[in-house]
Amino acid sequence: METINILVIEDSKDDFYLMERILKKNHIPCSLHCVDTRDEFLDALHESNPNLIISDHAMASFSSMDALQICQKERKSVPFLVVTGTLPEDTAKSLLSLGVDNYVLKKDLDLLPDVVKQALKKHKSWVSSGVKNLTAEAISKPKVDNNSFALKFTKYLNDKIKSIDGMTNLMQKESLCTKYRNFHYREIKSQTQQMRYVSHCIKEMAELKLAEVESNVINLRLLTTNVWFELLESRFFDVVLVNNISEELTWKGDVKVLKVILRHIFRNSMLFKDSSKKLNRMKLTAVRQSEYLILEIEDNGIGIEKTVIPKVFDVFYSADTDYKTVGIGLYIVKELLDEIGGEMRITSELKEGTTIQLLLPQYS
């Protein structure tokens, strides 16, 4: 078995040595290197080319979030684990949604060997069989939480029906003035269009899941540009596309699935532009790393509050108080990424913008 190069961010040498002993005691072939400052981490990240990163959550001058953001900025697709003394549930959920693969409390360090194995298996950074097995596993795994989705979808429909029924009853009153009658008419039309859009999205997702996986080689710059202009044709958006993807970069996979994923992400970037800024733009970059293609989508829109990032993948959840969206786009993105064995990571700052990283496996 190949030796695993593990970079550890830890300011307690005792905890570092304890992790090292536990891993080697459980026959994990590994070489560990410990750092505890930002500069040391940057040097080690480039020089040692780690297969795995383990970080304490909070230290005096450095944190797991600092390290994770550096990895994402440097486009280092490395399994990232957090080992810490305490971690509130909300913080744990936020870390996982932002790209941390897993976490272990220091009182439960006996679990570390299994967590390390799972993280490495997930990323396939040391398994020669590559993405083909990961994709097959993702396609064949049983679908979960269908009942939860059905209940949420039913509630969504019932709420809309009650709202439309209520407005219809009001419109039947002879005493209602023309102004309010027209207002309710527009609301009914708007909610009907929203329901039609949701129905279309769910039908499209279901058809893609039921269809056989197709594998085609596409030019990524051309595909992303085409998806962008298809959206512009359906509605005018005052957002500029900056496509920095190399003209030679290709991806092999299910193009129909990727187009739907991109459409939902691009649509959100367009809808949630920051009107106070002179120029609203969405920038695309991509790089191939190991068996993955990493596509980064960065916008300078209104951003997402960090506390709600873990919820944005929930069906019918929307952080938007103006109801521009119904909260189904990112749910579908996550479902389809699971189908092809991919991942999605989100970082965002309010009033600054949002960055999304898509880790797309290359089909064999």
Domain co-membership, 192 together with 111: no
319 in the same domain as 281: yes
Q: Report the 10 Å Cβ neighbour count for 70.
A: 16
Tell me the backbone φ, ψ of residue 217, rounded to 5 degrees: -90, 125
The answer to whether residue 138 is domain-embedded is: no
Same domain, 46 and 21: yes
How high is the pLDDT of residue 126? 40
Q: Cα–Cα distance between 303 and 308 in angstroms, integer? A: 11
Residue 217 belongs to domain with CATH number: 3.30.565.10
Residue 219 has a pLDDT of 95
CATH of the domain at 11: 3.40.50.2300
Domain annotation covers residue 177? yes
Q: At what angle do helices 329-340 and 178-210 cross, to 10 degrees?
A: 0
Looking at the fold, whether 157 and 52 belong to one and the same domain comes out as: no
- If phi > 0 it is left, if psi is from -120 to 50 it is alpha, else beta; for residue 127 that is beta
Is position 274 within any domain?
Answer: yes
Residues 166 and 303 in one domain: no
Residues 217 and 357 placed together within one structural domain of the fold: yes
In degrees and rounded to multiples of 5, residue 202 shows phi and psi of -65, -40
**pLDDT tens series, the chain, 364 aa:** 678 999 999 988 999 999 999 999 998 899 999 998 888 998 888 888 898 999 998 887 788 888 888 887 776 778 899 998 887 777 777 777 777 888 999 888 999 999 998 888 877 644 444 444 445 544 454 444 445 677 777 777 777 788 888 878 777 776 777 777 788 788 888 888 888 888 888 888 888 888 877 889 999 999 999 999 888 876 656 789 999 999 999 999 899 999 999 999 999 998 888 989 989 999 999 998 877 899 999 999 999 888 888 888 887 777 665 545 677 888 899 989 988 888 999 999 989 999 999 999 876 5
One domain for residues 155 and 66: no
**Residue at 140 is within a domain:** no
Q: With the C-alpha atoms ordered 182, 183, 187, 188, is the resulting torsion angle positive or negative?
A: negative
- 225 and 346 co-located in one domain: yes
Q: How many domains does the chain have?
A: 3
- Residues 210, 142, 129, 246, CA torsion sign: positive
Residue 48 belongs to a domain: yes
Q: Has residue 136 been placed in a domain?
A: no
Q: How far apart are the first and last CA of the chain?
A: 24
C-alpha–C-alpha distance, residues 191 and 197, integer Å:
10
User: Is residue 231 in a domain?
Assistant: yes
Same domain flag for 169 and 56: no
Structure tokens at 280: 């609203």
Q: Domain boundary residue among 185, 209, 233?
A: 209
Among residues 154, 180, 209, the one where a domain terminates is 209
| Domain identity same for 201 and 221 | no
Last residue of a domain, one of 128, 163, 183: 128
Provide the pLDDT for residue 144.
46
Domain that holds residue 291: 212-361
**Is residue 46 included in any domain, yes or no?**
yes
3-class secondary structure, 363: coil
